Each structure stands twice: as structure tokens, then as C-alpha cells.
Amino acid sequence: MNVHIIRDEHCPLAVYQNVFDKLSKSAGLIRFVKSKDDALIQDDTDDMFDEKERKPINKYHFLSFSQLYDICENYRKKHNIDTNDHVFLLSGANNYQNWFSNMDHERNNYFVQVTEWELFFGAELEVSFILCYQVMAWLLKRKLFSSETEVMDAVHKKAKGCMMDFCENKRDITLKIRTADLCPDCLNTIKSKDVPLNFLNQVFSLWEEIRKNIAFRERAEFLNRMGRMIINPPRKTLLFPDYGDIVVKLQPKEMAFYQLFISEPYGINLHNLIDHAMTLKDYYFKITGNDDIAAIENIYAINDNVASQLISKINKKLVDNLGKTLASYYTIERPLNEPHKIRINREYVSLSS
């Protein structure tokens, strides 16, 4: 079963990438296929990331359901997608009906809105988990019901923390996603429909991860507790296993720079960066593996101006992925009258290769 995940120009690339990474990590019957319109970061090199962002037409964009499905249809035509394949649009547009997501039963097309979730879950939310929940829920609904009427007959008007909650009051969606579960009635429906076990396993294990993530995040914020971070220089990633395996991807230069700040718990004054050039160069070469002159110049060209830009890029990625509160342990900040530093207790930091 192929499921193509695509995005429109209103869905940020970082959101798309996070959703796709999480979905494609799940094992089972569903095979997630990357959008052919996006050259996603495979082997990211410095200064490539920003150019891949598409320009939105305008900020407040409304589309009808059929316009959203048309985007899926156009994608099918353009890339010759098999009619049995499913096409899922991550859309940054609002729709007139004010729904978060829906499906076109006739043609296996779907959309999920990527914006406005923070109105219900708060700004600390990592939106990709919710989007993954929606993707899995619609694929399961597609397996269980063959028409929109069938879906509407099966929904629960009164929310009970089940996938089939209708959520007329949009606020009820928080209950549905925090439980990421099915009620006994719906489980019985599944039993009667002969849904393949490896399909169900894939849905349930991803939901489990979502639940874990949301619960941990809420408690971590409440308890003000920090989670572990695993730095992987060759892959240029920061992994947060305690927050539901969130992965933050950095560019080579950002990675080297971040490692330098991790290695200096007492912080670095940006004016003295040149004193750390050798260490920085060392980290950089370990990541890129090249030893050319241009790369050396690249590193020595990191003056405090460039450094500030690097810091704000790194910090933005951390905040986008972890939310402001949790990210504050890992971002490079400058406390009053002190050099730039990363707050996280280094006992929570480990290196993987």
C-alpha cells in the first residue's frame, strides 16, 4: 500500500520533513513515498536549506475541499501515480468548512491542515505528531469505511477519546489525540472488517509514540525536567529520545559549531572565537570528511557576525522542534554578563557515531 505524502506552498518544508521522517520510520504494510516535487535534504551541505523553501502566495489562504483534492489529483497526473495509491496533502491553507482534515473516498485523496493546531494545543506543541496521527487515522478510516456516508454514520457526536469522535467543537480534538485510541465499539468494527494485522500494528505503534510524546512533553514542562540529547556528527542530527525521538537536523557548519559549544560548558565569548578555530575545524572535518582549503577558509571566516547567524539558525531549529520551554535547555544563549553557552547539564548529553 503506497501512500504519497505531498505538501502545498503554505506548508513549511521543516514540518513536511518532520512528518515524513516519522511516518517512514514506522514499519508495516504502509509504504510512505516522498513527494517528487521536493528535493528533500539527503546529504545536506552548508547554505542549501533556505533555498528549498517555497514562497507562499499569501498568508491567509482559503480553499474548498475540492480545490484541496485537486492538488492531489494534479500531483497524480503529473507523476503518473497509480489509482490504487493514496495521496496525502499537507496543506497550510484554511478551508471554508473549517475542518482539520478530510478524505475523498472516490479517489483516495486526503488533506490535513498543518496550521492553527497551536490554538488548541499551545505553542509548545510539536505539530508533526498531530499530523502523523491524522494521516494514520484517515488511512484506518479508509480501510474501515467505503464512503463518506459510512464514515458519518459511524462518528461519535459526543467525544469519548476515540478516533471516530466527530469533534464538532474543535477543542475536543485535544482529547482524541491525547488518547490516540479507539473505543470498544470501534475496535469491534475493526474485528468485523478483517483489517490486516501489520497495518493495524503500524497505526497503533505510531499512535503510541504520539501519546508518549505529548504526555512526556506536558510532564516535562510541568516538572521542568530535561531529557537526554544524543549528538550524531556524521548524520548531523540531535536526537531527543525522551521527547518521543525528536530529531533535529543541522547543517555541517551548524553541527560543528554546536559541538564546540557543547564542549565548553562555561561558554564562549564570540569575540574570542578565533581561539577555538582549531577545535571547530576538527569537528567540521570529522563531519564533512573533506580536508580542502575552501573548507578551512570556511571555518576561519566564522567571525562573530556569522556566528550570530549560525546561533539563531540552530536555535530556531531547536525551538521549532521542541517548543520554547524545552528548547531553552539546548539552545545557545547569552545570559546577562556571561558568554554564550548551552544550559543542558552535560550528563544528559552523549555522542553517537
What are the Cα distances from residue 242, in Å, to 91, 218, 238? 29, 12, 12
Q: Shortest Cβ distance from residue 187 to Zn ion (Å)? A: 8
Whichever of 77 and 157 has its CB closer to Zn ion, that residue is 157
* Min separation Cβ 137 and Zn ion, Å: 11
The least distance separating Zn ion from the CB of residue 128, rounded to whole angstroms, comes to: 25
Name which of 186 and 327 has its Cβ closer to Zn ion.
186
Give least dist CB 183 to Zn ion, A: 3
Q: Compute the half-sphere exposure of residue 36: CA atoms within 13 Å on the CB side of its CA.
A: 12
Q: How far is the CB of 90 from Zn ion (least distance, A)?
A: 25
349 part of the interface to Zn ion, by CB under 5 A: no
For residues 125 and 163, which CB has a smaller minimum distance to Zn ion in the complex? Answer: 163
Which residues is 43 bridged to in the sheet?
Answer: none
Provide φ and ψ at 112, rounded to 5°: -135, 130
Nearer to Zn ion among residue 1 and residue 155 (C-beta): 155
Q: Which of 68, 164, 322, 326 binds Zn ion (CB under 5 A)?
A: 164
Cell of 284: 567540521
Count CB neighbours of 148 within 10 A: 13
Q: Which is nearer to Zn ion, 183 or 349 (CB)?
A: 183
Which residue's CB is nearer to Zn ion, number 30 or number 164?
164
Of 45-53, 143-151, 176-184, 301-309, the segment contacting Zn ion by CB under 5 A is 176-184
Return the DSSP state at 102. E
What cell was used for 78?
A: 503529473
Of 109-117, 133-141, 157-165, 312-320, the window that binds Zn ion (rule: CB under 5 A) is 157-165
CB of 50 to Zn ion, least distance (A): 44
Q: Cβ 192 to Zn ion, closest distance in Å?
A: 14
Q: How far is the CB of 41 from Zn ion (least distance, A)?
A: 39
**Closest distance between Zn ion and the C-beta of residue 29, in Å?**
22
The closest alpha carbon to 116, from 125, 103, 107, 108, belongs to 125
DSSP state letters, 49-86: TGGGPPPPS-SS-EE-HHHHHHHHHHHHHHHT--TTSE
Q: Does 162 bind Zn ion (CB under 5 A)?
A: yes
State yes or no: residue 154 binds Zn ion (CB under 5 A): no
DSSP E strands, the chain: 2-7, 31-33, 62-63, 86-91, 94-95, 101-104, 109-113, 229-232, 237-240, 246-249, 332-333, 341-342, 349-351
Nearer to Zn ion, 164 or 173 (CB): 164
| Residue 306 is a binding residue for Zn ion (CB under 5 A) | no
The number of residues that bind Zn ion (CB under 5 A) is 4
Helices first, then strands: H and E counts in the chain: 13, 13
**Does 186 contact Zn ion by CB under 5 A?**
yes
Alpha-carbon distance 348 to 353, whole Å? 17
Closest to Zn ion by CB, 48 vs 152, is 152
Give the other-Cβ count within 10 Å of 176's Cβ. 21
Rounded to the nearest 5 degrees, what angle is found at the Cα of 40, between the Cα atoms of 319 and 22?
A: 60
Binder among 183, 195, 247, 306 for Zn ion (CB under 5 A): 183
Instruction: Return residues touching Zn ion (CB under 5 A).
Output: 162, 164, 183, 186
